[in-house]
Amino acid sequence: MIRPIIAANWKMNKTVSESLDFVSRLMQLVIGMNDRQVVIAPPFTALYAVGAALKGSSIGLAAQNLSENKDGAYTGEVSARMLADAGCTHVIIGHSERRTIFGESNDVIRAKISMALQSGMQPIVCIGETIEERESGRTFDVIAKQIKEGLNQIETSDIKHIIIAYEPVWAIGAGKTATPEQAGEVHGFIRKLMEERYGEEPARRLPVLYGGSVNPDNIGKLMAQPDINGALVGGAGLNVDTFGKIISF
């Protein structure tokens, strides 16, 4: 059985002091909660301070992005080695905002996944379709392309270190959530696709999270779906009390 993973992506929110206040309160909420993994993704500016605060705790620390380059003359970029050194255990890759606003291709995402794996971090690889793609019946085609191209050249031995997050673009920050049945159907497709590519055992152990307006009211029904193994939480992860209700589903 896959241990559920509940991750909060703070996006471009919270100062260092606000991040540390959140973390101090969150650490109290997760005491004794050993049957699930909690991960938070603060902004870059807060990673080192939060990483230091989390030492000895069960909470994972994720970066929201990383460079596809190892090091060098890339002004403004942050490398995988730097993130690991700051205490990151996970890194979000391929979020729809990175794909749409910043034009990240599946090839760039594949390079970022490789960099994360080489540095010992677990990539949380985001995939998902737009409303136009869903309404035109192309959801599965889009998901398959993102997985095949994004995970191209990733070895079977590395799959155990990867987390997939299905985030329908039309549900992110929109107050809309895929129904548990819609989400479950896509998660089932993802697992079947991974089984075809990497074998039954790696696919069975692969954590597949759902993201898209997750909140305390819908987390229970989403987690009841057999192929949903957790959540990547956006806006509801900015308030520690609300996030606490989600992780306590």
**Residue 95 appears among annotated catalytic residues:** yes
Q: Do 125 and 93 contact (CB within 8 A), yes or no?
A: yes
| From 95, 97, 133, 187, active-site residue | 95
Query: For 14-57, what is each residue's pLDDT tens digit?
Result: 999 999 999 999 999 999 999 999 999 999 999 999 999 999 99
For residues 3 and 238, give the distance between their C-alpha atoms in angstroms, rounded to a whole number.
23
Query: For 119-131, what is each residue's pLDDT tens digit?
Result: 999 999 999 999 8
Query: Tokens standing for 210?
Result: 């759902």
Q: Where are the alpha helices (DSSP H) in 128-218?
A: 131-135, 139-150, 156-159, 180-198, 200-205
**Residue 187 appears among annotated catalytic residues:** no
Query: Tokens standing for 106?
Result: 């599946």
Residue 159 CA to chain centroid, in angstroms?
Answer: 15
Please give the pLDDT value at position 170.
82
Please give the pLDDT value at position 174.
63
CATH number of the domain enclosing 84: 3.20.20.70
This prediction's pTM: 0.95
Domain residues for 153?
Answer: 5-247
Count up the domains in the chain and report the number: 1
| From 97, 104, 167, 187, active-site residue | 167
> Low-confidence residues of the chain, pLDDT below 50?
none
